[in-house]
Chains A and B, each alone.
Chain A
Amino acid sequence: MLRLAFATLRGRLSSLAGSFLALLFAAALVTACGLLVETGLRGSTPTERYAATPVVLTGPRQASVVKNDASDEPVEVTETVPLDEPSTLPTSLATRLRQVDGVQDVVPELTFPVALLAGDGSAVPGAAPGATYGHAWDSARLTPYTLRAGRAPAASGEVVIDAGLAARAGLTVGVRARVLGRDGVRAYTVTGIAGPGLTGQSAVFFTAGRAAELFGHAGRVSAFGVFGPGDPDAIKDAIAAKLGIAQERSARVSLGVKGAPAEAGPAVYTGGERGQAENPRASAARETLVALGGSLGGIAVMVAAFVVAGTFGLAQRQRRSEIALLRAVGATPAQIRSMTGNEALLLGITASAAGLLPGVAAGRWLVGELTAEGLAPEAFAPVVGPVPMLVALAVGTATAWLSARGAVRRATRVRPTEALGEAAAEPHAPGRGRLITGLVFLALGTGLCGLAMSVAGETAAMSAGGIVILLVVAAALLGPWLVRSAVALAGGLLARTSRVGGYLAVANTRTAAGRLASVVSPLILMIAFAGATVFAQTTIGEATARQAAEGTRADYVVQAAGPGLPPEVARAARAVPGVTGVTEIIDTGVIGDYEELGDRTLRSYRAFGLTVPAHGLDLDVRAGSLDRLRGTTVALSTLAAGSFGVSVGDKVRLRLGDGTPVTPTVVALYGRGLGFGDVALPHDLVRGHTGSGMTDRLLVVGDASAGGRLAALGPAVTVLDSRDASAARDEAMELNNWVNLLALGLIIVFIAISVVNTLVMATAGRAREFALLRLVGGTRRQVLGVLRWEALLVAAIALVAGTAIAVPTLMAVSYGVTGSPIPYVRAEVCLAVAALTLGLAFAATLLPARAVLTGRPADRVRG
């Protein structure tokens, strides 16, 4: 039967080309996203700092929820959230590591951010931005760093500096150097220069004692380097067995379902993985790539299924008479199914295969763009492996096959006797099953929307995607009824307005509702998706900017140019004449640990530590008081409090940036969570659980005279007045916008392809109808007029339905994140979407129609 499919292929080239293109683009998108994910999972930054260390242990990199009802059963990880700050390991672990078979030596490693200051007080740039780390000289052998000149540090006032940093700073052995660390800026004597200079990070070596002071976590270390003569992986396995940690790429902070969270297990790295251990930024970039690739890929697969199913449906509809004829000459329904199924498989495989290389190119481009935008480190090379391609191939083929199955199921119900009837007439009224399914989706979508409005909080905001998908599917299923009711509403007016074009367009639309629906659906998807994505973003962005602007009352913001502001800067700032208030702020992230719908859930929150009483900052406190934010307490945004289900006086379970569990009491609820962060903690509680242990910013209230004096406070300090500070905030938001708009751009291109596709197919399939119109006296202009009205109807229906989907979704989002159901909508974007819709509908209808209208109608009508 496939031979037969081939034989009839020439007649169906236009519709096949449509399906082919849609599948090709889907496969390319999936490949590109897969490449992002794979780069995130396997892409390695070169191992430098630990180049000489066979096995590296670090603190956990993520927190997980695990299910372990029976203690002897293997635990099941149900959710994993990356930690925001580097975590630590107990120093005592070294003893146990030394007992592991094959381990010869264990070297503890301390890593903490520092800055080498130049003569003018600015930070000497490290090998990579923000990547100058302090270590104890004892751990120099992990690289190994060897002295090029001078000697090792022997007293707490002595340091060894790596060759790259020394060259940039122009330092030589014997000179004094100022280094910014946790306890402030101190002067050290450079006793040695060590090589090599690495490309990913710079190093300053202290004595073990001084390093421990600057590290600031007594009895703990950043990592262990483990040496042994055997195979590193064997050592790794032995260590894992000895410590009882799961054989995973990175260990986790375990949580009992009910009881206290379990002790954190270390992460063990060997070979190429060691690059991850030394570069925490790369691991954040990894998460970004995996998350971005995953969500983009998910959307791509969904849209692909939607689009390809639509295209196939239309293609099969146009093949109806051919199928009926085949049935008439004795083909069984099974033969028809196998013919179309095999054809779809073939199409799926070839189209997906053709999409692989463009997909790889697109993926490389994406990684490059992400690197350029600073979301991935420079050294991150795209990983091109076979897995994403295989997945794309499988997804493309499966999508094609399943879509064809669905479409053919209807086609095989064609009775052979229908073969030679009016093949172009709309076959059957769409089935009851479709109506019921559509209504179910509609009910689910509106129900979810209502639920989102009533629960408020971030859950509402996060349900936006779900609402859009449910409602778009509902619109696609209910398409024929939607088209019919739209025509019933507007048809009379239209037919009176335009006696030929409008009248015929209405008649065509009414009777060919199924065909029109398959054209309208992708447009609805595009409008709803674009509207929801863009305006959810503008709504959140606008609310964030507004809250930040309204809540920031500081006259000056003092920022660190290096890793942070040591405590002495804050002390000095408070003493500056004209300064009436100073708030120290540390930006970090925490993980909320709460029960949602009965399940233990972890969620990352943007958090900050602040000193109280807070000056220059108005969080819009709704309950309690920020003044009580001392000791083990927390203030939550009203949204976060909603997720936790707590109010003032309750306790919440949090994990601080480095994974340390705390159970602070809620002392205040505030409204401006978007602008500042959802979780506010006491400065002193946060400080010990961040990488640098230093303050990030000072908010200063003071008169005009204070500005100049603040700038002189100390080295590596930048003072922004309130206008500069708000400009800096806007810049930070751009990045997030870029990623979202990229996703949106890809989806719109995809949908545009499919819209053009279905419209071209639908129009080209009506050649006989147009020819007949010409024969009974319709001019070309009149036929094109009919099509113009049809295109207008299609675009109008799509715009109305798309808006009807986007609006409640946006209201849920807006209500969820800002408390007001009115989203922030920009008119120029609305106009652009409307123009795009109209443009697509017109271009894709009229261009193929012009082609169809050439030639003699008498030949066309014979078919």
Chain B
Amino acid sequence: MSLPAIRMNAVTKTYKQGARVVHALREVTAALPRGRFTAVMGPSGSGKSTFLHCAAGLDTPTSGTVHLGEVEISRMSETQLSELRRDRAGFVFQSFNLIPALTVMENITLPFRLAGTRPDPAWLDEVVRRVGLENRTRHRPSQLSGGQQQRVAIARALATRPEVVFADEPTGALDPVTAADVLGLLRRLVDTTGQTAVMVTHDPVAAAHADQVLFLADGVIVEELLSPSAGEIARRISALGRRTAAA
């Protein structure tokens, strides 16, 4: 198998919260395989968001290394990271994914504009078609439904053919039907284009769309399931929740 899309080696992240030191990640080592859809789950405060931020270069670890593809990103400056994000990483967030002043197409091509490059028109057309927004490219975000906005965000994330698409609770603000629709789209994209995707979620149904699920608790990866069902995931999560509560 080829080089993993993301390699994290003994990554520790600590925050100072007042006088207290919070260990968000403790010596986490993980490799996320290329061309797969990975979900990261865990109870609140388990460190799953920090995991995503460190993996995506949104945050730098206190110690340890992170590689995105062949590049070590854990020692990069803020500007280097910004430039890296333009073509190596795509992001989809729970909400407020789009610049309100720009149209759908302008939002999708924004990373190219920031990088001063031109998108590949054929790929752009395909991405827009795949997310089903062919007829809405001139609309503004405020004219779209929540599900449509997430589709635009996915299209933008894919447009640069990034190493990895990072999704942070992408369906958190959507109803179940729309959420399933968006997740199905992500799933198909991974299957048909070989795109690597990492998603943080607390929803077992969402996580069930993934190829593998990492479970975090107290800043440590406690378990890894391959192609689990939603029910299986839900049981693991509630077990973890009880354990965390007991500890």
Q: Please tell me if the beta carbons of B100 and A856 are within 8 angstroms of each other in the complex.
A: no
Which residues of B86-119 are within 8 A (CB) of A? 86-87, 91, 93-102, 106, 110-111, 113-116
Q: Does A499 contact B (CB under 8 A)?
A: yes
Q: Give every chain A residue within 8 A of B116 (Cβ-Cβ).
A: 499-500
Q: Give every chain A residue within 8 A of B79 (Cβ-Cβ).
A: 779-781
Chain B: CB-nearest residue to A778: B114
Closest 10 CB pairs of A and B: A777-B86, A425-B100, A511-B101, A425-B142, A507-B101, A858-B58, A779-B82, A777-B85, A508-B101, A778-B114
19 cross-chain CB contacts under 8 A: A420-B173, A422-B141, A426-B100, A499-B113, A499-B116, A500-B116, A503-B113, A507-B99, A507-B101, A769-B99, A775-B91, A776-B85, A776-B114, A777-B82, A777-B84, A778-B114, A779-B83, A779-B114, A863-B96
Chain A: CB-nearest residue to B60: A856
Q: From residue A488, how far is it (CB to closest CB) to chain B in Å?
A: 15
Q: Please tell me if the beta carbons of A856 and B59 are within 8 angstroms of each other in the complex.
A: yes
Q: Does A14 contact B (CB under 8 A)?
A: no
Q: From residue B101, how far is it (CB to closest CB) to chain A in Å?
A: 4
Q: Please tell me if the beta carbons of A777 and B114 are within 8 angstroms of each other in the complex.
A: yes
Given A424-B96, A504-B99, A776-B85, 9 more pairs with CB closer than 8 A: A420-B95, A503-B113, A773-B110, A775-B93, A776-B86, A779-B82, A780-B82, A782-B82, A858-B58
Q: Does A833 contact B (CB under 8 A)?
A: no
Q: Please tell me if the beta carbons of A862 and B53 are within 8 angstroms of each other in the complex.
A: no
* Cross-chain contact of B82 among A503, A778, A862 (Cβ < 8 A): A778
* Given A856-B58, A857-B58, A858-B53, A773:B86 Cβ within 8 A: no
Roughly how many angstroms separate A857 CA and B97 CA in the complex, as a whole number? 12
Q: Does B156 contact A (CB under 8 A)?
A: yes
Which residues of B63-86 are within 8 A (CB) of A? 78-79, 82-86
Q: Does B140 contact A (CB under 8 A)?
A: yes
Tally of contact residues, A, Cβ under 8 A: 34
Q: Give every chain A residue within 8 A of B101 (Cβ-Cβ).
A: 504, 507-508, 510-512
Q: From residue B210, how far is it (CB to closest CB) to chain A in Å?
A: 21
Q: Give every chain A residue within 8 A of B111 (Cβ-Cβ).
A: 776-777
Q: Please tell me if the beta carbons of B85 and A775 are within 8 angstroms of each other in the complex.
A: yes
Q: Give every chain B residue within 8 A of A507 (Cβ-Cβ).
A: 99, 101-102, 106
* Cross-chain contact of A500 among B59, B113, B140 (Cβ < 8 A): B113
Roughly how many angstroms separate A856 CA and B54 CA in the complex, as a whole number? 12
* Cross-chain contact of A422 among B59, B91, B96, B110 (Cβ < 8 A): B96
Q: From residue A504, how far is it (CB to closest CB) to chain B in Å?
A: 7
Q: From residue B10, how far is it (CB to closest CB) to chain A in Å?
A: 22
Q: Does A421 contact B (CB under 8 A)?
A: yes
Q: Does A402 contact B (CB under 8 A)?
A: no
Roughly how many angstroms separate A135 CA and B120 CA in the complex, as a whole number? 101
* A839-863 contact mask (Cβ, 8 Å, vs B): 1 or 0: 0000000000000000011100111
Q: Give every chain B residue within 8 A of A499 (Cβ-Cβ).
A: 113, 116
* Cross-chain contact of A424 among B78, B82, B100 (Cβ < 8 A): B100
Q: Please tell me if the beta carbons of A772 and B97 are within 8 angstroms of each other in the complex.
A: yes
Roughly how many angstroms separate A863 CA and B113 CA in the complex, as a whole number? 25
Roughly how many angstroms separate A421 CA and B173 CA in the complex, as a whole number? 10
Roughly how many angstroms separate A512 CA and B100 CA in the complex, as a whole number? 9
Chain A: CB-nearest residue to B115: A777
Q: Does A49 contact B (CB under 8 A)?
A: no
Q: Give every chain B residue within 8 A of A773 (Cβ-Cβ).
A: 99, 110, 114
Tally of contact residues, B, Cβ under 8 A: 37
Q: Please tell me if the beta carbons of B82 and A774 are within 8 angstroms of each other in the complex.
A: yes
Chain A: CB-nearest residue to B156: A776
Q: Give every chain B residue within 8 A of A777 (Cβ-Cβ).
A: 82-87, 111, 114-115
* Cross-chain contact of A858 among B59, B98, B102 (Cβ < 8 A): B59
Q: Give every chain B residue within 8 A of A424 (Cβ-Cβ).
A: 96, 100
Roughly how many angstroms separate A857 CA and B86 CA in the complex, as a whole number? 14
Interface residues of B (CB under 8 A from A): 53, 58-59, 78-79, 82-87, 91, 93-102, 106, 110-111, 113-116, 140-142, 146, 149, 156, 168, 173
Roughly how many angstroms separate A507 CA and B79 CA in the complex, as a whole number? 24
Chain B: CB-nearest residue to A858: B58
Chain A: CB-nearest residue to B140: A511
Roughly how many angstroms separate A241 CA and B113 CA in the complex, as a whole number? 87
Q: Does A327 contact B (CB under 8 A)?
A: no
Roughly how many angstroms separate A510 CA and B97 CA in the complex, as a whole number? 20
Q: Give every chain A residue within 8 A of B168 (Cβ-Cβ).
A: 858
* A753-788 contact mask (Cβ, 8 Å, vs B): 1 or 0: 000000000000000110011111111111000000
Roughly how many angstroms separate A750 CA and B168 CA in the complex, as a whole number? 46
* Given A775-B58, A776-B156, A779-B79, A862:B106 Cβ within 8 A: no
Roughly how many angstroms separate A510 CA and B100 CA in the complex, as a whole number? 11
Roughly how many angstroms separate A863 CA and B93 CA in the complex, as a whole number? 11
Q: Tell me which of A499, A507, A858, A862 has the highest count of chain B C-beta atoms within 10 A of its own C-beta.
A: A858
* A418-450 contact mask (Cβ, 8 Å, vs B): 1 or 0: 001110111000000000000000000000000
Q: Give every chain B residue within 8 A of A768 (Cβ-Cβ).
A: 96
Q: From residue B141, how far is it (CB to closest CB) to chain A in Å?
A: 6
Q: Give every chain A residue within 8 A of B98 (Cβ-Cβ).
A: 422, 772
Q: From residue B94, how far is it (CB to closest CB) to chain A in Å?
A: 7
Chain A: CB-nearest residue to B110: A776
Q: Give every chain B residue within 8 A of A420 (Cβ-Cβ).
A: 95, 173
Roughly how many angstroms separate A420 CA and B96 CA in the complex, as a whole number? 10
Q: Give every chain B residue within 8 A of A778 (Cβ-Cβ).
A: 82, 114
Q: Give every chain B residue within 8 A of A426 (Cβ-Cβ).
A: 100, 142
Q: Please tell me if the beta carbons of B93 and A861 are within 8 angstroms of each other in the complex.
A: yes
Roughly how many angstroms separate A782 CA and B82 CA in the complex, as a whole number? 10
Q: From residue A172, how far is it (CB to closest CB) to chain B in Å?
A: 88
Q: Give every chain A residue within 8 A of B96 (Cβ-Cβ).
A: 422, 424, 768, 772, 861, 863
Roughly how many angstroms separate A546 CA and B85 CA in the complex, as a whole number? 67
Q: Give every chain A residue within 8 A of B95 (Cβ-Cβ).
A: 420, 863
Chain A: CB-nearest residue to B160: A777
Roughly how many angstroms separate A426 CA and B99 CA in the complex, as a whole number? 11
Q: Give every chain A residue within 8 A of B115 (Cβ-Cβ).
A: 777
Q: From residue B172, how far is it (CB to closest CB) to chain A in Å?
A: 10
Roughly how many angstroms separate A420 CA and B174 CA in the complex, as a whole number? 11
Q: Give every chain B residue within 8 A of A861 (Cβ-Cβ).
A: 93, 96
Roughly how many angstroms separate A384 CA and B94 CA in the complex, as a whole number? 59
Q: From residue A861, how far is it (CB to closest CB) to chain B in Å?
A: 6
Q: Tell me which of B82, B84, B97, B173 has the highest count of chain A C-beta atoms within 10 A of its own C-beta.
A: B82
* A504-517 contact mask (Cβ, 8 Å, vs B): 1 or 0: 10011011100000
Q: From residue A114, how far is it (CB to closest CB) to chain B in Å?
A: 78
Q: Give every chain A residue within 8 A of B86 (Cβ-Cβ).
A: 776-777
Q: Give every chain B residue within 8 A of A503 (Cβ-Cβ).
A: 113
Q: Give every chain B residue within 8 A of A510 (Cβ-Cβ).
A: 101
Roughly how many angstroms separate A512 CA and B114 CA in the complex, as a whole number? 21
Q: Give every chain A residue within 8 A of B113 (Cβ-Cβ).
A: 499-500, 503
Q: From residue B168, how far is it (CB to closest CB) to chain A in Å?
A: 8
Q: Give every chain B residue within 8 A of A779 (Cβ-Cβ).
A: 78-79, 82-83, 114
Roughly how many angstroms separate A238 CA and B235 CA in the complex, as a whole number? 102
Q: Give every chain A residue within 8 A of B84 (Cβ-Cβ).
A: 777
Roughly how many angstroms separate A858 CA and B57 CA in the complex, as a whole number? 10
Roughly how many angstroms separate A425 CA and B101 CA in the complex, as a whole number? 8
Roughly how many angstroms separate A862 CA and B53 CA in the complex, as a whole number? 13
Q: From residue B164, how far is it (CB to closest CB) to chain A in Å?
A: 14
Q: Please tell me if the beta carbons of A500 and B78 are within 8 angstroms of each other in the complex.
A: no
Roughly how many angstroms separate A769 CA and B87 CA in the complex, as a whole number? 20
Roughly how many angstroms separate A779 CA and B53 CA in the complex, as a whole number? 17
Q: Please tell me if the beta carbons of A780 and B78 are within 8 angstroms of each other in the complex.
A: yes
Chain A: CB-nearest residue to B102: A507
* Given A421-B142, A856-B59, A776:B91 Cβ within 8 A: yes
Q: Tell me which of B85, B99, B113 has the highest count of chain A C-beta atoms within 10 A of its own C-beta.
A: B99
Q: From residue A774, how far is it (CB to closest CB) to chain B in Å?
A: 6
Chain A: CB-nearest residue to B90: A776
Roughly how many angstroms separate A452 CA and B156 CA in the complex, as a whole number? 58
Q: Give every chain A residue within 8 A of B110 (Cβ-Cβ).
A: 773, 776
Roughly how many angstroms separate A774 CA and B89 CA in the complex, as a whole number? 12
Q: Tell me which of A510, A781, A856 has the highest count of chain B C-beta atoms within 10 A of its own C-beta.
A: A856
